[in-house]
């Protein structure tokens, strides 16, 4: 047990060291907040599997890895450009080991304010967006991030701006020399009547492990629309806990598609607070799990006012000894009459040793609401497979076709065709399929 | 073309086919009739290569090759086609999409060139017209939400696209309205040639008014107990199966 405590001690020590360097600015509201967060992390510690919300996500083995605080790293443009999205004219914000890398970034939409968290902290007004949406009182990873985060994307879409080009937040972890631990902090604000698409992708370079503890705070203003596509493509030695907190105002729409392709341990906490009437939250997720991966999606649709809607569809394809977790919580607070909340989790198990743990959690305190949830899991349908083969399609292609069809429900929510196509290809590769799935889906 | 010799098959230890003998030559149409549960679909499934069945005896030669040794896709490449009694619904896979892959696999095997999107569309239009199917229909998820009759029509459309040597139609007529029955029968007839053969599994003489069989067989308790010409179907229609059962000695 002493071993697993060590990482915690190192993180506490890091905070003290940083504190000492602050000198005069120790009394700022920001630092006081960070101190409080660090104390909270100290009290909570890392969650164990005895914690109901972390029952299947055992983080303890990660704590034995000698992670050390991530340092900036200079990547060549060749190393970075592999991760740019082909065929998409996007604003690109690159972060290497959690630090903003302006030399690899690209801004094409001048009407939007894009910068990094560190720079944004210098302006007191923006300062006030920090930790306004996320609560860290009960979430030790969020508390830790609040205390130690020093960089991340900072995006503000002004009122009324319809952004034509997406923003790509590109996170690269360089684990070539050591096992870095990083706490990126992203702040996204969509002004009233604005519309934007944000693509978030994470990747690893290097053979060591890595630990990303990210927090995103997202506010979606009145009548605004935000589409978010998250591509998780870290190495199979990496750990990630991503916590995203969304606050939605009246008539807003927030849609997110999370595609988890790799990573040894991926925990996504996705919370949307529907705080204004007629707002809509759409959570879609696709998980491709293999080896001994663990992918855990925890969602919370928090309905606090009437006439809102939340839709959730999470699909898992699990192979080898991988474990999938889906925990979908829906809260309908007493005032939230006429709520519509749907939730569905479907899983295909490709091996006997893959498992899915799914748990819907409905907490409904209003009477005039429509809520539904459902979960299915099973093997690839043998009847369908035989049907396709009997038409001359070889077994491996037939399998790929069926898996692709299964995934397409989720992928079809991605409105950018080149992104969808590249995901189709990654998924085909991920499923070890030689077949030209790209041809099948043209 | 097809030669089934003393074929025996069982499922979960239960013997269902108990020694089937049947020879089908190019150009012929064979009708197989028989009471519910007698093994007709099992025979069709075994010929198409469904894995659920254990072959416990006998052999099946297709153009002198051992059919039972082949995977379902190989059988299709060789020219065997099964129109399913209960076609599956496959959400997310459109008929057009999967059929293009299927057709090109079959063509690859025949040493023919791959069809590009244009040629494929042209062929699809032609065959869809033959079966009176809207093109938009073929873009929908395979059989999902299709009516019973639409599913059957889709099966014959696929047959027209793949142009098999041996077609096995398992109760394709069940669930078809009178107009659809004519369309499907015309489709099947227009695909007939002296090089291909058809096995029709049916309960009703009506289909055989449109597609005239050369032979009619009665399958009962896993065996072909009686064979005859097309007049046998009329007799069965009029008299039912009891007299056949009596002849067998039950
Ligand atoms: N997979 C299976 N598992 C168990 N029993 C089976 C299976 N397949 C077929 N059978 C049994 O085998 C027998 C023959 O079934 P089959 O479907 O071949 O009959 P059929 O002649 O096509 O009948 P119908 O006219 O009703 O379509 C039936 O008793 C059926 O229950
Ligand atoms: Mg049958």
What is chain A's mean pLDDT, rounded? 92
Closest to A334 measured CA to CA, from A310, A307, A364, A360: A364
In the prediction, which pLDDT does A432 show? 60
Give the number of the ligand closest to the Cα of residue B45: 1
Write down the pLDDT at residue B148: 86
Residue A227 is assigned to a structural domain of this protein: yes
Query: Ligand 1 atom closest to Cα of B222?
Result: 14
Chain B, 127 to 146: residues with Cβ < 8 Å from chain A are 141
The 10s digit of each residue's pLDDT in A114-162 is 888 877 776 665 556 788 888 889 999 999 999 999 899 999 999 999 9
Model confidence at A435: pLDDT above 70: no
pLDDT at A1: 46
Looking at residues A315-332, what average pLDDT do you find? 96
Domain edge (last residue) among A232, A252, A276 = A276
B140-154: average pLDDT: 90
- The predicted-structure confidence for A339-392, as pLDDT tens digits, reads as follows 999 999 999 999 999 999 999 999 999 999 999 999 999 999 999 999 999 999
> Do B93 and A401 lie within an 8 Å CB cutoff?
yes
Domains for chain B: give ranges and CATH numbers: 2-248 (3.40.50.300)
A396 interfacial to chain B (CB closer than 8 Å) = no
Interface test with B, best of A381, A390, A412 (most B CBs within 10 A): A390
What ipTM is given for this predicted complex?
A: 0.95
Neighbours of B10 (CB within 10 A): 17
A410 touches chain B (CB under 8 A): no
Number of domains in chain A: 2
Determine the pLDDT at residue A437: 42
Instruction: For residue B112, give the DSSP letter.
Output: P
Q: Do both A268 and A389 map to the same domain? A: no
Residue A326 belongs to a domain: no
Give domain status of residue A232, yes or no: yes
Q: What ligand is nearest to the CA atom of residue B51?
A: 1
Atom of ligand 1 nearest to the CA of B45: 18
- Minimal CA separation from A317 to chain B, in Å: 15
Q: How high is the pLDDT of residue A2?
A: 52
Residue A402 domain-assigned? yes
**Final residue of a structural domain among A246, A276, A306:** A276
pTM over the 0.90 mark: no
Nearest residue (CA) to ligand 1, atom 4: B11
Tell me, in angstroms, the distance from the centre of ligand 1 to residue B89's CA.
Answer: 20
> How do A99-100 and A91-96 pair as beta strands?
antiparallel
Q: Please report the sign of the dihedral spanned by the C-alpha atoms of residue A435, residue A345, residue A257, residue A415.
A: positive
The interface residues of chain B toward chain A in range 43-62, judged by CB-CB distance below 8 A, are: 48-51
- C-alpha closest to that of A38 among A53, A26, A24: A26
Q: For residue A108, which of A167, A161, A158, A162 has the smallest C-alpha distance?
A: A167
Dump pLDDT digits (tens) for A229-262: 999 999 999 999 999 999 999 999 999 999 999 9
Order the strands of the B54-62 sheet from edge to edge.
B14-24, B2-11, B54-62, B65-66
- CA separation (Å) from B10 to A148, A280, A383, B67? 67, 55, 18, 17
Question: Å from B19 to nearest chain A CA?
Answer: 24
Nearest residue by C-alpha to atom 13 in ligand 1: B37
Which of A164-168, A281-285, A434-438, B225-229 bottoms out in mean pLDDT, i.e. has the lowest?
A434-438
A345 found inside a domain: no
Question: Is A355 inside any structural domain?
Answer: no
Taking residues B200-207, report their average pLDDT.
90
**pLDDT value of residue A174:** 97
Higher local confidence (pLDDT), A248 or A3: A248
Q: Do B106 and A383 touch (CB under 8 A)?
A: no
Residue A310 β-bridge partners: A281, A341
Q: Using the beta-carbon criterion (under 8 Å), do B73 and A384 form an inter-chain contact?
A: no
Question: CB-based contact (8 Å) between A384 and chain B?
Answer: yes
- Ligand 2 ion: residues within 5 Å (CB): B 40-41, 85
Verify that A25 and A169 share a domain, yes or no. yes
How high is the pLDDT of residue A375?
95
The pLDDT, as a whole number, for residue A441 is 42
Q: Are residues A268 and A407 in the same domain?
A: no
Mean pLDDT of chain B: 92
Pocket test for ligand 1, best of B8, B11, B45 (most atoms within 8 A of CB): B11
Domain containing residue A436:
380-442
Mean pLDDT of A182-202: 97
CA of A352 from ligand 1 middle (Å) equals 29
Q: Decide if pLDDT at A77 tops 90.
A: yes
DSSP-based three-state secondary structure for A78:
helix
**Per-residue pLDDT tens over the stretch A401-422:** 899 899 999 999 999 999 999 9
Q: Is the pLDDT score of A94 beyond 90?
A: yes
> What pLDDT is stored for residue B242 in this prediction?
86
Q: Å from A178 to nearest chain B CA?
A: 44
Whether A365 is covered by a domain: the verdict is no
Which of A276, A299, A333 delimits the end of a domain? A276
How many angstroms does the Cα of residue B16 sit away from the middle of ligand 1?
8
| CA B12 to ligand 1 center in whole angstroms | 12
Residue of chain A nearest B110, judged by CA positions: A392
Distance from A384 to chain B by nearest Cα, in Å?
6
Strand partners, A360: A328
Q: What are phi and psi of B136, to 5 degrees?
A: -60, -30
**Angle (deg, nearest 10), helices B148-162 and B117-130:** 130
List residues bridging with B219 in a β-sheet. B224
User: Residue whose CA is closest, atom 17 of ligand 1?
Assistant: B41
Higher pLDDT, A20 or A318: A318
pLDDT of residue B18: 95
Q: How far does the centroid of ligand 1 lie from the alpha carbon of residue A198, in Å? A: 54
B87 within 8 A of A387, measured Cβ to Cβ: yes
A440 interaction partners in chain B (CB closer than 8 Å): 97-98, 101
Tell whether A387 and A261 lie within a shared domain.
Answer: no
Query: What percentage of chain A carries pLDDT values higher than 90?
Result: 82
The ligand that comes nearest to the alpha carbon of residue B12 is: 1
Q: Is residue A288 part of a domain?
A: no
Q: What is the pLDDT of residue B17?
A: 95
Task: Name the closest residue on chain B to residue A387, using Cα atoms.
Answer: B88
């Amino acid at each position: 047990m002493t071993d697993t405590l060590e990482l915690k001690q190192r993180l506490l020590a890091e905070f003290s060291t940083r504190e000492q360097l602050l000198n005069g600015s120790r009394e700022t509201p920001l630092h006081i907040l960070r101190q409080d967060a660090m104390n909270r992390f100290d009290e909570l510690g890392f969650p164990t599997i005895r914690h109901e919300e972390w029952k299947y996500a055992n983080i303890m083995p990660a704590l034995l890895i000698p992670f050390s605080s991530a340092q900036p790293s200079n990547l060549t443009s060749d190393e970075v450009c592999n991760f740019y999205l082909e065929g998409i004219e996007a604003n690109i914000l690159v972060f290497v080991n959690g630090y903003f890398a302006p030399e690899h970034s690209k801004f094409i939409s001048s009407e939007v304010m894009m910068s990094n968290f560190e720079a944004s902290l210098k302006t007191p007004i923006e300062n006030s967006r920090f930790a306004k949406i996320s609560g860290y009182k009960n979430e030790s990873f969020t508390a830790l991030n609040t205390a130690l985060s020093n960089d991340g994307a900072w995006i503000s879409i002004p009122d009324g701006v319809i952004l034509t080009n997406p923003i790509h937040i590109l996170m690269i972890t360089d684990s070539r020399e050591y096992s870095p631990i990083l706490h990126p902090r992203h702040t996204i604000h969509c002004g009233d009547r604005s519309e934007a698409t944000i693509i978030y992708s994470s990747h690893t370079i290097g053979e060591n492990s890595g630990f990303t503890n990210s927090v995103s705070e997202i506010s979606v203003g009145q009548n605004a629309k935000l589409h978010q596509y998250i591509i998780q493509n870290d190495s199979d030695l990496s750990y990630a806990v991503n916590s995203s907190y969304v606050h939605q105002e009246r008539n807003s729409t927030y849609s997110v598609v999370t595609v988890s392709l790799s990573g040894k341990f991926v925990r996504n906490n996705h919370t949307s607070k529907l705080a204004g009437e007629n707002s809509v939250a759409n959570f879609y997720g696709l998980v491709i799990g293999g080896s001994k991966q663990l992918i855990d999606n925890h969602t919370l649709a928090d309905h606090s006012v009437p006439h809102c809607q939340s839709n959730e569809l999470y699909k898992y394809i699990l192979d080898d000894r991988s474990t999938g977790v889906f925990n979908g919580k829906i809260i309908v607070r007493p005032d939230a009459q006429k709520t519509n909340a749907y939730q569905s989790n479907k899983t295909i198990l490709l091996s006997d040793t893959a498992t899915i743990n799914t748990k819907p959690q409905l907490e409904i305190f209003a009477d005039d609401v429509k809520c539904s949830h459902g979960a299915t899991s099973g093997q690839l349908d043998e009847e369908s497979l035989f049907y396709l083969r009997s038409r001359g399609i070889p077994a491996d292609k037939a399998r790929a076709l069926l898996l692709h069809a299964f995934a397409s429900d989720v992928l079809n929510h991605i409105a950018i065709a080149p992104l969808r196509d590249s995901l189709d290809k990654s998924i085909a590769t991920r499923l070890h399929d030689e077949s030209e799935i790209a041809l099948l889906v043209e | 073309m097809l030669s089934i010799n003393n074929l025996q098959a069982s499922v979960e230890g239960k013997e269902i086919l108990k020694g089937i003998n049947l020879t089908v030559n190019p150009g012929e149409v064979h009708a197989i009739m028989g009471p519910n549960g007698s093994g007709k679909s099992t025979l069709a499934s075994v010929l198409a290569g469904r894995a659920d069945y254990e072959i416990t005896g006998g052999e099946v030669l297709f153009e002198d090759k051992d059919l039972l040794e082949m995977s379902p896709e190989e059988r299709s490449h060789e020219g065997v086609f099964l129109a399913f009694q209960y076609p599956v619904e496959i959400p997310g896979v459109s008929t057009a999409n999967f059929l293009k892959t299927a057709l090109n696999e079959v063509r690859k095997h025949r040493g023919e060139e791959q069809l590009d999107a244009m040629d494929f569309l042209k062929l699809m239009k032609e065959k869809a017209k033959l079966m009176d199917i809207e093109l938009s229909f073929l873009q929908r998820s395979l059989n999902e939400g299709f009516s019973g009759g639409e599913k059957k029509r889709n099966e014959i459309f696929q047959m027209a696209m793949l142009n098999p040597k041996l077609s096995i139609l398992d109760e394709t007529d069940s669930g078809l309205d009178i107009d659809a029955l004519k369309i499907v029968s015309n489709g099947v007839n227009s695909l007939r040639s002296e090089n291909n053969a058809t096995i029709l599994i049916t309960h009703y003489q009506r289909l055989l008014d449109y597609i005239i069989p050369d032979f009619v067989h009665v399958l009962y308790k896993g065996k072909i107990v009686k064979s005859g010409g097309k007049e046998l179907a009329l007799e069965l229609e009029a008299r039912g199966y009891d007299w056949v059962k009596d002849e067998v000695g039950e």
